[in-house]
Amino acid sequence: MTCYSESVKYVRIGIELAAYGQCGGRPGRPGYAARATLAALLAIVGAAPALATEYPLATPDVLVVGEDQSVQTVYEDTLYDLARKFSLGSEEVIRVNPGVDPWLPGAGAQVIIPGRHILPPGPHEGIIINLPEHRLYYYPKPLRGQPAQVITYPVSIGKMDWHTPIGLTHVIAKEKNPVWYPPESVRKEHAAAGDPLPARVPSGPDNPLGLFAMRLAAGNGTYMIHGTNNPIAVGMPVTHGCIRLYPEDVAQLFPMIPVGMPVRIINQPVKVAWVDGELLLEAHPPVDAEGQSFEPDVDQFAELLRAAVGDSTVAIHWDYAREVLQKADGVLATVGLEADLSALNTDGTAEH
């Protein structure tokens, strides 16, 4: 398994830009002009990026962090640079702004920034990566006298037949300025497409691993958490199995993670949380075993919601809940209220 992005194509004003994240970029090679054009574009898209969002966890029962907001665009904005500015993947922002042109939103457009997150289930320790959410959560050990905290980053995950593994693993090695050695299968694939790859790619702007990489025990060390030379695709299923972060995010995360740090990779498209008697629901497009997103099956999602609620006594607005599950845009919604047992009918439904 290795880590590079497939060609991701975007069309703006009739001009097709091939957003390559694989190696290359030498004059005379196929795709060089497109990559050169993209490099100039990314210089604009990547302007003044924000670091990942850090949230204090004053008590262990804090389950929701961040906030949603709305921003008004200026002429120079794109949804891609807004996503990076607010530490979101590009698809997170595009999904909740369906009527906005991602490349040309124009001045004065109101753009929703979905920054509110339900923390993933399980222990709050080490690194947790939720594949459908395209998001990494890191729980550093609390300093003496200081509250616990969580730091969260958008990520890209695996696609095609390059599976991102599920389950518990750990960091086995860290590399600054990593060298990329494309495996033979990837080199054959690119040669067949008329874009041959070298056997060794040194650190630099053509290296898809970016400047920092953390190797995982999964897959005998073939999977990594790393940076990228194609930040515009962060948040998309475009890697060959690895977990990829914005360059500034991996630069922040890298020095904080020791070798041996546990990493738990989960596939949790539906998350719920109780906050002040309200049942909050967060749904994301499910991903298959190959990391590809697909349309949710609302009935299956409803069963996930029932399982997440468990034995709690709750009055769920099922019509609205199913609408939220169908939309699966990652925006939190209140779909139920803590129920008073005395107000329930014998079949468990709420009285009206």
Q: Write out the catalytic residue numbers.
A: 226, 242
CA distance 96 to 79: 11
Write b or e for each residue in 276-299: b if 16 or more Cβ atoms lie within 10 A of its Cβ, otherwise e. Answer: eeebbbbbbbbbeeebebeebebe
The number of beta carbons lying within 10 Å of the beta carbon of residue 1 is 22
Pairing of strands 224-226, 243-244: parallel
The DSSP output letter for 76 is T
Residues contacting residue 160 through CB under 8 Å, at least 6 positions apart: 6, 240, 290, 291, 292
CA atoms within 13 A on the CB side of 273: 18
CA distances from 56 to 62, 65, 150, 267, 334 (A): 9, 9, 7, 25, 23
Residue 316: alpha-carbon gap to chain centroid: 28
Q: What DSSP string runs through 291-345?
A: S-B----HHHHHHHHHHHHTT--EEE-HHHHHHHHHH--S--EEEEEEPPGGGB-
Pairing of strands 262-266, 126-130: parallel
> Encoding tokens for residue 350?
């709420």
Sign of CA dihedral 119, 121, 125, 128: negative
CA distances from 114 to 22, 96, 106, 280, 339 (A): 30, 8, 20, 15, 28
CA distance 3 to 275: 39
